[in-house]
């Protein structure tokens, strides 16, 4: 499997680069090292060039990707820069037939991510934090592999110091305007109170196992009680209503994603809950969520006729696109909400 490395030049990613270089030295493999020039600092271009030079010096391929000036974020810098970075690397990997992208996330990153998501009120999926192996976050792209989740930031920097290898300190990593930096500043106090990064990461790992169990149950339901084809999905409404709420919500999100509207992420949780509750109402006739239209369809199969729900992409764009529309009395003409009749 062809793979690439994402390297910013910081201590974690540079340690990953040197570890991979040592591993590939005897295998005649020369994976590309991707570094992104976000254009957010005066030294961005210089630092990106340094990383590419360091990569070539250890026998790897150095590649610099640049964020277009029009795409340089002015607000919500953390999230915007992350998305721009991933999209650039994803496009490059697709173009060059790269199946996997190695990331240098550490146990400290895992703990910070857990705390950030806890502050946002995330559920099981969010609190399970980062997986050692996960799908690409923005559409089609390489598998993301995180081989250093079991190591601390300090361990990786010690590895570099022992070999007299320097790295780049990004001033944004100390900027208190950013949420991750604020969480990072809390870690020493939490550790003193007994909540170390190891324990936080362990909690995330426990929740990750719970998440996998929920996903397996959801997949089992979809395998038996759903039929998916290009542009639509058919769900067994009776079986759906009998599911535990969490599994039912996941099944709806999975069906939505299967017809091409989820983009790899489940829709907003509040909207999913509204749809799940609406499906349980006897008067329900149709709704939209994420641009897909839901309406009941009766399908006869031996020995019994069973209620089924169809998800399709046939709803035309309009004022309600991307939202779930369920009129209070659920009574458009003929008992069908107007948004459902648009399909």
On the question of pLDDT at 220 being above 80, the answer is yes
Q: Is the distance from CB of 195 to CB of 132 less than 8 angstroms?
A: no
Nearest to 71 by CA among 63, 58, 82, 60: 82
On the question of pLDDT at 46 being above 90, the answer is yes
Q: Is the distance from CB of 249 to CB of 276 less than 8 angstroms?
A: yes
Q: Place 73 in a pLDDT band, splitting at 50, 70 and 90.
A: low
Six-digit token pair at 79? Answer: 């999230």
Distance of alpha carbon 275 from alpha carbon 239, whole angstroms: 16
Q: Place 312 in a pLDDT band, splitting at 50, 70 and 90.
A: low
Q: Place 288 in a pLDDT band, splitting at 50, 70 and 90.
A: low
DSSP assignments along 115-144, one per residue? HHHHHTT--HHHHT---SEE--SSSS-PEE
Residue with tokens 């969520």: 289
Distance between alpha carbon 283 and the CA centroid of its chain, in Å? 36
Q: Place 129 in a pLDDT band, splitting at 50, 70 and 90.
A: confident
Q: Place 53 in a pLDDT band, splitting at 50, 70 and 90.
A: very high
For the chain, the straight-line distance linking the first and the last C-alpha, in angstroms and rounded, comes to 43
Q: Which residue spans within 162-291 are E strands per DSSP?
A: 226-229, 232-236, 287-289
Average pLDDT over residues 151-159: 96
On the question of pLDDT at 269 being above 60, the answer is yes
Distance of alpha carbon 149 from alpha carbon 35, whole angstroms: 20
Q: Place 120 in a pLDDT band, splitting at 50, 70 and 90.
A: confident
SS3 289: strand
pTM of the model: 0.75
Distance of alpha carbon 19 from alpha carbon 318, whole angstroms: 52
User: Quick one: CA dihedral 54, 55, 57, 58, positive or negative?
Assistant: positive
Distance of alpha carbon 113 from alpha carbon 130, whole angstroms: 8
On the question of pLDDT at 193 being above 60, the answer is yes
Confidence at residue 276, expressed as pLDDT on a 0 to 100 scale:
81
Distance of alpha carbon 188 from alpha carbon 191, whole angstroms: 5
Q: Place 324 in a pLDDT band, splitting at 50, 70 and 90.
A: very low
Distance of alpha carbon 68 from alpha carbon 240, whole angstroms: 46
């Amino acid at each position: 499997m062809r793979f690439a490395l994402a390297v910013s030049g910081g201590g974690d990613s540079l340690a990953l680069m040197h570890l991979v270089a040592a591993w590939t030295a005897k295998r005649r493999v020369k994976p590309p090292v991707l570094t992104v020039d976000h254009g957010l600092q005066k030294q961005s271009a210089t630092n990106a060039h340094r990383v590419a030079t360091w990569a070539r010096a250890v026998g790897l391929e150095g590649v610099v990707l640049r964020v277009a000036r029009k795409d340089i974020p002015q607000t919500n810098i953390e999230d915007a820069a992350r998305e721009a970075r991933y999209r650039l690397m994803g496009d490059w990997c697709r173009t060059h037939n790269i199946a996997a992208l190695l990331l240098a996330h550490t146990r400290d990153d895992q703990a910070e991510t857990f705390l950030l998501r806890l502050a946002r009120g995330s559920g099981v999926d969010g609190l399970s934090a980062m997986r050692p192996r996960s799908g690409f976050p923005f559409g089609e792209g390489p598998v993301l592999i995180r081989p250093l989740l079991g190591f601390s930031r300090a361990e990786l920097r010690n590895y570099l110091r022992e070999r007299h290898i320097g790295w780049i300190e990004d001033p944004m990593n100390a900027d208190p305007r950013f949420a991750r930096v604020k969480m990072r500043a809390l870690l020493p106090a939490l550790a003193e109170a007994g909540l170390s990064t190891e324990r936080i990461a362990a909690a995330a790992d426990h929740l990750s196992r719970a998440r996998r169990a929920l996903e397996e149950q959801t997949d089992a339901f979809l395998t038996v009680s759903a039929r998916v084809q290009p542009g639509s999905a058919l769900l067994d409404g009776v079986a759906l209503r009998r599911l535990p709420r969490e599994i039912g919500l996941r099944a709806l999100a999975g069906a939505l994603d299967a017809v091409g509207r989820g983009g790899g992420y489940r829709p907003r949780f509040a909207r999913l809950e509204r749809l799940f509750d609406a499906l349980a109402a006897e008067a329900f006739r149709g709704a939209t969520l994420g641009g897909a239209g839901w309406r009941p369809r009766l399908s006869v199969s031996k020995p019994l006729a069973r209620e089924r729900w169809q998800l399709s992409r046939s709803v035309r764009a309009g004022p309600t696109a991307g939202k779930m529309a369920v009129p209070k009395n659920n009574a458009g003409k003929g008992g069908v909400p107007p948004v459902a009749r648009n399909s």
